């Protein structure tokens, strides 16, 4: 019989998972050894929270569940932020935390936390892994994590169980992708339920596409529908690249920079098709004036926005059916969508300070210097709103960010993971100095792993998003200012290649310089934050 740890490693191998991210402890020794023997690499993060974010990014890059490992007590509590991020970002994650031996758990208190109570509210499912049901428990964990909506599950592995023989060592990976299409249509009383007839009757329809469509791989049918019916497409931030951003019918990104321009454009619609749009990404309340058709793998259970018609099934197949069935003329001319994008672009550059290094300058210059297929990761902060709107990508998953929980400190761990898993694809991390301060020790992990993401840091010694809110209320900047540090020197101390720049010319020189391929390169860009005030 296999041990419980060998069954865990067997499931990971069957799922094609090549990396597990975490921080070890006594109860995880057997698990790590079983993974090593199975050829699964354990990546030692500098703390459990960032290791969990790496596992989350692993899932976003590969499409397979991410796996995070922690020990008991503070190891498990440090993991909670990553688990909560996976829940609200809809990312499949299997989080495994060690625990004290079962015979002592009821009466011992040192480092003992109730995992079910701690992880229950932020997980789709929690369970304690027992030897007698190891295979079945893991099978349920993987299926639960990947089922719509995907998210995290948490497993507790007691120290006296991980090395025990598994009474159930069956390794049978459950199906994780739909085979065939089963679609249900729901409609409010008295309304036309056929989405194609509704689309044909509309004069100014707009598609709002989100992460549900991204998970469904719906780019091709989305583009076909937009072209056939002449419908502009707005995407949610985490779905950037779902609609190629150089396409004539790509309109903009919702709830990022210049959101007033985007919302004004959306108000001109007489029908809105929400294609895999998840309201978890909405920053503000939305009550559409136009009727909404909800197209997703799940019914509109959130009810953040109302929908007269719900088409529940495979998003890609539904969009393909609409494209195939379209027979009318284009509803929008390409020139009209281009005019909207021009208005958006003018708003995007408002507030630039002549002669200074502006945030939009950083984004534009980095975009111009890097290949078209570069993947970007964006941290939380004022810069994220500009990256979300201004960084151009034509590939699904071309930008990784957290926009459900919106957890600061995400971008650097995500970039390290992306560079580790896909070393042939260029990757740039955009972080503020506040976000970097939370996770900067992971730069040494990038050096250790010999991965080479470009890390661009917007340095303004401020938690700008909150400082701007203080300014609007005419309050002083209290608790939002950071002590200036030399980010480039700090990065060099962790083995990174680094530049400090404070001008557009200096940034261009840094971007043009040779970059090592075996360690991160950090560019600390000292920006003038005045543009943020004009933008937000």
Residues sharing a CB contact under 8 Å with residue 452, sequence separation 6 or more, in sequence order? 419, 423, 446, 515, 516, 517, 518, 519, 520, 521
Distance CA(323)–CA(437), nearest Å, equals 47
Biggest CA pair distance of the chain: 73
Contact partners, residue 473, CB within 8 Å, separation at least 6: none
The answer to whether residues 361 and 355 touch, using CB atoms and an 8 Å cutoff, is no
pTM for this model (two decimals): 0.95
Ranges in the chain, pLDDT < 50: none
Q: 99 with 72: CB under 8 angstroms?
A: yes
- Rounded to 5°, angle at Cα 426 from 424 and 427: 125
pLDDT given for residue 174 in this prediction: 77
- Structure confidence at residue 178 (pLDDT): 64
The predicted pLDDT at position 492 comes to: 98
pLDDT of residue 181: 62
Beta strands across the sheet bearing 41-44 = 41-44, 19-22, 66-70, 93-99, 152-158, 125-128
Percent of the chain whose pLDDT exceeds 90? 91
pLDDT at 107: 82
Query: How far is the C-alpha of 161 from the C-alpha of 103, rounded, in Å?
Result: 11
Interhelix angle 382-390/334-348, nearest 10 degrees: 150
Which residue pairs, CB below 8 angstroms and at least 24 apart, start in 295-304? 295/195, 295/319, 296/212, 297/148, 297/149, 297/212, 297/215, 297/216, 298/148, 298/149, 298/212, 299/186, 304/279
Contact assessment for residue 58 and residue 21, using Cβ atoms and an 8 Å cutoff: yes
Alpha-carbon distances, residue 156 vs 85, 112, 130, 239 (angstroms):
19, 12, 9, 33
* Structure tokens that stand for 186 in this block: 């729901």
Bridge partners (DSSP) of residue 474 are none
- For the chain, the residue count is 536
Prior bond to 149 cis, omega within 30?
Answer: yes
The kind and range of the H/E element at 413 are helix 411-421
Phi, psi of 122, rounded to the nearest 5 degrees: -120, 15
- Asked if residue 250 lies in contact with residue 383, where contact means CB atoms within 8 angstroms, the answer is no
HSE, side-chain direction, 13 A CA sphere, residue 241? 21
Q: Are 293 and 309 in contact (CB under 8 A)?
A: yes
């Amino acid at each position: 019989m296999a041990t419980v740890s060998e069954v865990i490693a067997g499931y990971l191998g069957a799922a094609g998972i090549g990396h597990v991210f975490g921080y070890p402890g006594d109860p995880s020794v057997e698990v790590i050894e079983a993974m090593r023997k199975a050829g699964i690499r354990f990546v030692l993060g500098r703390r459990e929270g960032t290791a969990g974010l790496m596992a989350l990014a692993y899932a976003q890059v590969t499409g397979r569940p991410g796996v995070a490992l922690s020990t008991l007590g503070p190891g498990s509590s440090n993991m909670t932020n990553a688990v909560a991020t996976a829940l609200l970002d809809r990312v499949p994650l299997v989080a495994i935390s060690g625990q004290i031996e079962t015979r002592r758990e009821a009466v011992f208190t040192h480092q003992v936390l109730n995992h079910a109570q701690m992880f229950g509210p932020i997980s789709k499912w929690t369970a304690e892994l027992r030897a007698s049901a190891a295979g079945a428990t893991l099978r349920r964990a993987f299926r639960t994590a990947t089922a719509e909506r995907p998210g995290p599950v948490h497993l507790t592995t007691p120290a006296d169980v991980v090395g025990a023989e598994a009474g159930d060592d069956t390794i049978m990976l459950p199906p994780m992708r739909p085979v065939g299409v089963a679609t249900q249509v729901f409609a409010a009383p008295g309304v036309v339920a056929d989405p194609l007839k509704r689309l044909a009757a509309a004069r100014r329809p707009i598609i709002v596409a989100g992460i549900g469509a991204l998970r469904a791989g719906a780019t091709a049918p989305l583009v076909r529908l937009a072209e056939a019916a002449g419908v502009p497409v707005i995407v949610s931030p985490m779905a950037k690249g779902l609609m190629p951003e150089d396409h004539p019918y790509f309109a903009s990104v919702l709830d990022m920079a210049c959101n007033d321009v985007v919302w004004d454009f959306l108000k001109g619609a007489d029908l809105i098709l929400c294609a895999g749009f998840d309201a978890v990404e909405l920053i503000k309340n939305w009550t559409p004036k136009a009727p909404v058709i909800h197209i997703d793998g799940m019914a509109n259970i959130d009810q953040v926005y109302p929908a007269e018609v719900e088409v529940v099934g495979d998003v890609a197949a539904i969009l393909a059916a609409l494209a195939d069935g379209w027979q009318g003329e284009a509803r929008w001319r390409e020139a009209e969508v281009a005019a909207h994008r021009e208005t958006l672009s003018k708003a995007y550059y408002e507030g630039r300070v002549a002669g200074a290094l502006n945030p939009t300058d950083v984004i534009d210059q980095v975009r111009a210097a890097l290949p078209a297929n570069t993947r970007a990761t964006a941290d939380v902060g004022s810069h994220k709103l500009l990256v979300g709107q201004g960084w151009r990508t034509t590939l699904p998953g071309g930008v990784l960010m957290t926009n459900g929980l919106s957890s600061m400190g995400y971008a650097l761990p995500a970039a390290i993971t992306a560079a580790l898993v896909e070393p042939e694809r260029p990757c740039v991390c955009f972080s503020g100095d506040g976000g970097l301060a939370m996770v900067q020790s992971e730069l040494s992990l990038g050096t250790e792993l010999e991965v080479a993401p470009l890390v661009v840091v917007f340095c303004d010694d401020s938690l700008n998003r909150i400082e701007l809110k203080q300014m609007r209320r005419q309050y002083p900047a209290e608790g939002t200012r950071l002590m200036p540090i030399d980010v480039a020197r700090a990065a060099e101390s962790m083995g990174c290649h680094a530049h400090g720049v404070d001008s557009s010319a200096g940034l261009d020189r840094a971007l043009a310089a040779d970059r090592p391929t075996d360690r991160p390169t950090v560019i600390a860009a000292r920006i003038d934050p005045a543009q943020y005030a004009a933008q937000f």
